[in-house]
Amino acid sequence: MTCHPIVRLGLASILALLCTPAAAQKFEQLAHTPQMGWNSWNSFGCNVDEKMIRQMADAMVASGMKAAGYEYLNIDDCWHGTRDADGNIQADPKTFPSGMKALVDYVHARGLKLGIYSDAGNTTCAGRPGSRGHEYQDALTYARWGIDYVKYDWCDTKGIDPASAYTTMRDAIRATGRPMLFSICEWGDNKPWEWAADLGHSWRTTGDIFPCWRCEHSHGSWSSLGVLPILDKQAGLRKYAGPGRWNDMDMMEVGNGMSEEEDRSHFSLWAMLASPLIAGNDLRSMSDATRRILTHPGMIAINQDRLGIQAMKWLDEGDVEVYIKPLDRGGYAVLFLNRDDVPRDYTLDWAFNGMKDDISGRAIDFNKQRFAWRDVWNGGSGSTGTVYTATLPAHGVVVLRLSPQ
């Protein structure tokens, strides 16, 4: 903001305050632990409407997802209609005839929060109106509707500087005064982990997910990625994550076509790596197996651990990898991943494998410190005083929770 010099002369001290806007900040405390919710894109693409979103809100409560910690119901691309004569964005009157405010009220009445989607360019990835040049106006519209979460995409942004574009929307959200979680969706193209911690609460680290184990699914000019390719792209990123700033591995594909074993591994890896847990399946018709995975209290507790330390790859033995996540009260979660297509027997002699983590400053010498472990999915227990052996299913994981003895 600039002021006329004469005005500045007379009222310098007062106007210094008015004319120099304080540096904007994102809203803190919205994602002290990774956000949990549901998003429409993976299952519904552009087929979103208010009836389905209302049903999903009801299913989120009835299925036990809300009780397990899922909070946000996020409408992805394609809710948009056109802008009115003053440039205000409106919901598509055919698919959202009651309007966004009514939908927000419905969702809030069930103790849930509503998220919305926009894009830093002129158009969204599906060709709906983006927020470019309308950032403050759109943020204000969302705030007036009572929106709680903004996912902000990166299509149609040729020539725009990403950090500036996301700063503008961060500032626009801040200026509304309504705390809205800001989810940056820039696919990791410009290393958002290096510049987005003060802008948003999470940033996508990769392109879009696809429900497969190790495939890449080509869409011509880009491909979507299975569980293992997304996992491998997290290398080197854990130091950027922490309370309020998460590496987002994308909305989950649990219940969307992979095997139960693969779904369990996918969910466990996202939980261990402190990714936001955003379900992407149809909650109205999910199987018991899918529901049990998504609501697993032991895995959710690991993801939502107060310290917010992302797991590190501790041991790499080719097809078997071992991840470790430091937890509150001196505990740890240890995940054994079998990437292979056949089961693998695995033996870990704790005494020969110390752990040192420069990022959290934590270390373990199992000769000096003993832990009790509990198998989070299968329920067994034991101690690090004896060698651990397990048969890891093909494409499967075993997760142990260690507590100091």
Q: Catalytic residues, which ones?
A: 153, 208
Would you give the binding string for ligand GLA spanning residues 197-216, x where CB under 6 A is met?
-----------x--------
Between 208 and 263, CB nearer to ligand GLA? 208
Residues in the interface with ligand GLA (CB under 6 A) total 9
Shortest spacing between CB 47 and ligand GLA, in angstroms: 12
186 in contact with ligand GLA (CB under 6 A): no
Among 31, 89, 125, 172, binds ligand GLA (CB under 6 A): 125
* Residue 77 interacting with ligand GLA (CB under 6 A): yes
Judged by beta carbon, residue 250 or residue 357, the one nearer ligand GLA is 250
CB of 394 to ligand GLA, least distance (A): 29
Kindly indicate which of the ranges 17-25, 26-34, 95-103, 119-127 contains the residues binding ligand GLA, using the contact rule CB under 6 A. 119-127
**Pick 180 or 299: Cβ nearer ligand GLA:** 180
The span of 120-128, 241-249, 320-328, 389-397 binding ligand GLA (CB under 6 A) equals 120-128
When the beta carbons of 126 and 175 are compared against ligand GLA, the nearer one is 126
Q: CB 41 → ligand GLA: shortest distance, Å? A: 5
Kindly indicate which of the ranges 25-33, 67-75, 121-129, 293-301 contains the residues binding ligand GLA, using the contact rule CB under 6 A. 121-129
Instruction: Decide if residue 253 touches ligand GLA (CB under 6 A).
Output: no
**Residue 66: which residues within 8 A CB-CB, separation 6 or more?**
60, 110, 111, 112
CA distance 281 to 279: 6
The reply to whether 225 sits near ligand GLA by the rule CB under 6 A is: no
Residue 50 makes contact with ligand GLA by CB under 6 A: no
185 binds ligand GLA (CB under 6 A): yes
CB of 80 to ligand GLA, least distance (A): 11
User: Least separation, in Å, of the C-beta of 126 and ligand GLA?
Assistant: 4
Closest separation in Å from C-beta 150 to ligand GLA: 12
Question: Does 248 contact ligand GLA by CB under 6 A?
Answer: no
Binding to ligand GLA by residue 41, rule CB under 6 A? yes
Longest Cα–Cα distance of the chain, Å, equals 80
Output the residue with the shortest Cβ distance to ligand GLA: 125
User: At closest approach, how far in Å is the CB of 155 from ligand GLA?
Assistant: 6
Are 293 and 254 contacting, i.e. CB atoms less than 8 angstroms apart? yes
Helix pair 50-62, 100-109: axis angle to 10 deg: 10
Residue whose CB is less far from ligand GLA, 125 or 277: 125
Q: Which is nearer to ligand GLA, 185 or 299 (CB)?
A: 185
Question: CA nearest 350: which of 363, 329, 364?
Answer: 364
In the complex, the residues that contact ligand GLA under the rule CB under 6 A are 41, 76-77, 124-126, 153, 185, 208
